[in-house]
Amino acid sequence: MSDNTKFLLDESKLPKAWYNINADMPVPPEPVLNPQTLEPVTPDFLSVLFPMSLIMQEISTEAQIEIPEPVREIYKLWRPTPMFRARRLEKALDTPAHIYYKYEGASPVGSHKPNTAVPQAFYNKEAGTKALTTETGAGQWGSALAMACNYFGLDLEVYMVKVSYNQKPYRRMVIESYGAEVYASPTDRTNYGRSVLAEHPDSPGSLGIAISEAVEVAATSGGAKKYSLGSVLNHVLMHQTVIGEETLLQMEMAGEYPDVIVACTGGGSNFGGFAFPFVRENLRNGKNTTIIAAEPAASPSLTRGTYAFDYGDTAKMAPVVKMHTLGHSFVPPAIHAGGLRYHGMSPQVSALVNNGDVQARAVPQLETFEAAITFLRSEGIIPAPESTHAIAVALQEARKCKETGEKKVIAFNLSGHGHFDMAAYDAYLKGQLEDYEYPAEAIAEAMTQLPQVGG
Ligand SMILES: *Cc1c(COP(=O)(O)O)cnc(C)c1O
């Protein structure tokens, strides 16, 4: 076992291929449906929104997909990212467990999101796309895609959830600094945005609404603009698997193998990227790691949503997929400060949870910030509010080890830093945050609006 605190990989160890879990899924994938007909989509339908290379990745069953050299060149600006042994945290918890974390906040924009933004911009450029549209919540995805579009000379329009646009001006400024345009959604630039504003002039917006606007702009652009999504889809999770592949090598350097791994889940991309290579080792190579997806109690799609076909957006323009969902009309509670606000979940992550290969756990908000404070006062890094959900579950596991005396090896993904989210920490430190459980009646009501898919 290594005495190191940091585990750094040489640039030559940067993965040459992404891992496509479609090759090993224990259950066959459900079809993606056209939102109008509820019949399986054709590549034609999807090609309005995405370049064919990404559509082929979405449905590929090849286990390895080569990472193009121009993408690896840009990855090298921050990859391989470091993995740390959290020795000071272990001491603070007085636990016999060994705790490791992979740090994706080392990227230029401070999160894992450029791992897919860069290849998405690359494949669009290669296909002749001139401009992209996208949505962003807190601005992490918008920043990542703005950086990537800048590298490949693509224009970018970002539809940013209005409440975040107003409350998180620094992320908007980051996006604009990379050269992209940002609009507070709902906007008056789209039919759907105008219809929302007509009904609710003060709408704070939601990810579902912003997705609808970005999709509408691309779909009605006559081919000039394509749409890009930062999570949920198979190809997005696949691009993120560089995280888990590097972590496997770094655990080898540490001379240990994790008994438990944890990542937070919004749409599932940092979780899938970190966990899928470990799921492969469980399914194919006889490993037995407990794999946990951590989500907010205020937005609990995996633990309290229904596993059903649902629309990917509020206006029912995006494809219908089978996933754990709180209903496409979901608007997250304003008191919730921890991100991870999407109504649905990656179909791959949903299928693995449904099949018992992955566990899901919901954490109340005060516990996540409490865990973040314990973490940052030991390890120094201020975590993104999203990442604190993974930390909270890792702490739960480490405290269990203290009770039982077990020396488990726990590894989690620190998906980003929280330097632009200090207002959430401020609210926590001032005692202004409270726990919030999403109400069962709201979930039941939303379930009556699911599309009626036969069979
Ligand atoms: C966007 C984001 C998430 C949530 O998205 P996933 O697709 O579920 O990973 C988590 N952590 C950080 C830092 C993010 O920016």
Query: Is residue 455 over pLDDT 70?
Result: no
Q: What percentage of the chain has pLDDT greater than the value 70?
A: 100
Ligand 1, residues at Cβ distance < 6 Å: 111, 113, 140-141, 231, 264-271, 340, 384, 386-387, 415-416
What pLDDT was estimated at residue 44? Answer: 85
In the prediction, which pLDDT does 317 show? 87
Please give the distance, rounded to the nearest whole angstrom, from the Cα atom of residue 306 to the centre of ligand 1. Answer: 22
DSSP codes, 289-325: -EEEEEEETTS-HHHHSEEEEEESSTTS-SPEEEEEE
DSSP structure class, residue 111: B
Q: Ligand 1 centre from 1 Cα, in Å?
A: 31
Determine the average pLDDT of the residues in 141-149.
Answer: 98
Atom of ligand 1 nearest to the CA of 417: 13
Ligand 1 atom closest to residue 265's alpha carbon, by position in its atom list: 8
CA of 331 to the centre of ligand 1 (A): 18
What tens digit of pLDDT does each residue of 13-52 get? 999 999 999 999 999 889 999 999 999 998 888 999 999 9
**Ligand 1 centroid – CA 39 distance (Å):** 30
Q: How far is CA 104 from CA 20, 270, 317, 407, in A?
A: 20, 9, 32, 26
Q: How far is the CA of 406 from the centre of ligand 1 (A)?
A: 31
The answer to whether the predicted template modeling score (pTM) of the entire model surpasses 0.75 is: yes
> What amino acid is encoded at 85 in this protein?
R
Over the stretch 101-114, which tens digit does the pLDDT of each residue have? 999 999 999 999 99
Contact 293, 261 (CB under 8 A): no
Identify which of 102, 103, 104, 112 to mutate to test ligand 1's pocket (most ligand atoms within 8 A of the CB). 112
Is the pLDDT reported for residue 331 higher than 80?
no
**CATH architecture group of domain 6-14+68-110+235-447:** 3-Layer(aba) Sandwich (3.40)
pLDDT at 453 over 90: no
Q: Collect contacts of 200-207 with beta carbons under 8 A, ≥24 apart.
A: 203/162, 204/161, 204/162, 204/163, 204/331, 204/334, 205/161, 205/162, 205/163, 205/164, 205/165, 206/161, 206/314, 206/330, 206/331, 206/332, 206/341, 207/135, 207/137, 207/161, 207/341, 207/342, 207/343
Atom of ligand 1 nearest to the CA of 270: 9
Ligand 1, atom 13, lies closest to the CA of: 416
